[in-house]
Amino acid sequence: MAASGSIKHGEPGEGVAVPARSWQRRLAVGAWVFTGLCIIGVLGMLLMVMYGLRYPTEDEKNCCWEPNATPEWAARVTGLRVPEAATDRRAGLHTNLQYDVALLAFTVPTAEADRFLLPLRREGTQMVRNRHPQAPGYTRSDGFSHLSLPEPETFVEGMWITSVCPDEVKTPEGDAVRLCAEIHAHEFRPGTMRIYVWAGSDAPITKPATDGGAAPATRSSQPR
């Protein structure tokens, strides 16, 4: 005979039983919490990567730039004919594992800029405005800030954009193009334009010699 003070477990009303599904609910809640933390962690990493691309550190800005790049070298590898009247000529070569970038910038009178750009445009096309500008101070690891110039993507007023690739334009100037190039033309003061050329290649671009020269570049392309 059981003692009068004992409790018979399992009989209705005579004990406290843990609900059978309680542990399952707790497990489900824990799984949701864990999943949420994982998602937050992934989003945080993506935001850090995006921030790093948008605002590179000083080390990243100075990384991977080849020395001795000159405007004459950049004109050779891109195949672009820089106007003789061009002043404030600047150039750079950025290299990495994925693609190389040749930069060329110069200043010319607006009328001379028009003569430079017209033979590089496909028939029936017009240059476009910068409708999605970047914020002032924006930089990129392979951009013109390396040449002590503001990035052309930050300008709206007086900014016109076009692009050209090899064999795309049937003019002598178009036939000479060796790399796909995105061209920004910025009239930063009345009657004067600065031309920005960003030319990318998924194949290595011929590096400048110590005197700034370069062998003829292999035709290639890389979208910006």
Residue with tokens 């101070």, as numbered in its chain: 137
Q: Are residues 104 and 151 in the same domain?
A: yes
Q: Are residues 80 and 185 in the same domain?
A: yes
Look at residue 4 and tell me if it is in a domain.
Answer: no
Q: Are residues 31 and 86 in the same domain?
A: no
Look at residue 173 and tell me if it is in a domain.
Answer: yes
pLDDT score, position 140: 93
pLDDT score, position 16: 53
Look at residue 208 and tell me if it is in a domain.
Answer: no
Using DSSP's 3-state secondary structure scheme, residue 82 falls into coil
Indicate the number of domains in the chain: 2
Q: Are residues 26 and 125 in the same domain?
A: no
What count of residues does the chain have? 224
Give 10-residue mean pLDDT values along the chain (224 residues).
Answer: 47 52 76 82 71 58 85 98 97 95 98 97 93 95 96 97 96 97 98 98 92 48 48
Look at residue 148 and tell me if it is in a domain.
Answer: yes
pLDDT score, position 3: 46
Q: Are residues 133 and 166 in the same domain?
A: yes
pLDDT score, position 8: 47
Look at residue 224 and tell me if it is in a domain.
Answer: no
Question: How is 192-216 classified by DSSP, letter by letter?
Answer: EEEEEEEEEESSPPPPPPTTS--PP
pLDDT score, position 33: 80
Asked whether 197 and 74 are in contact (CB, 8 A), the reply is yes
The helix (H) or strand (E) run that includes residue 39 is helix 22-54
Please state, in angstroms and rounded to a whole number, the distance separating the CA atoms of residues 81 and 63.
29
φ, ψ (nearest 5 deg) of residue 40: -60, -40
pLDDT score, position 216: 45
pLDDT score, position 85: 96
Q: Are residues 143 and 43 in the same domain?
A: no
Please state, in angstroms and rounded to a whole number, the distance separating the CA atoms of residues 198 and 185.
12
What residues make up the domain containing 22? Answer: 17-54
Q: Are residues 43 and 99 in the same domain?
A: no
Domain's final residue, options 9, 34, 54: 54
Look at residue 1 and tell me if it is in a domain.
Answer: no
pLDDT score, position 65: 95
Q: Are residues 89 and 190 in the same domain?
A: yes
The helix (H) or strand (E) run that includes residue 89 is strand 87-95
pLDDT score, position 217: 45
Q: Are residues 143 and 181 in the same domain?
A: yes
Q: Are residues 86 and 137 in the same domain?
A: yes
Q: Are residues 130 and 44 in the same domain?
A: no
Residue with tokens 């003829």, as numbered in its chain: 216
Q: Are residues 43 and 71 in the same domain?
A: no
Look at residue 84 and tell me if it is in a domain.
Answer: yes
Look at residue 179 and tell me if it is in a domain.
Answer: yes
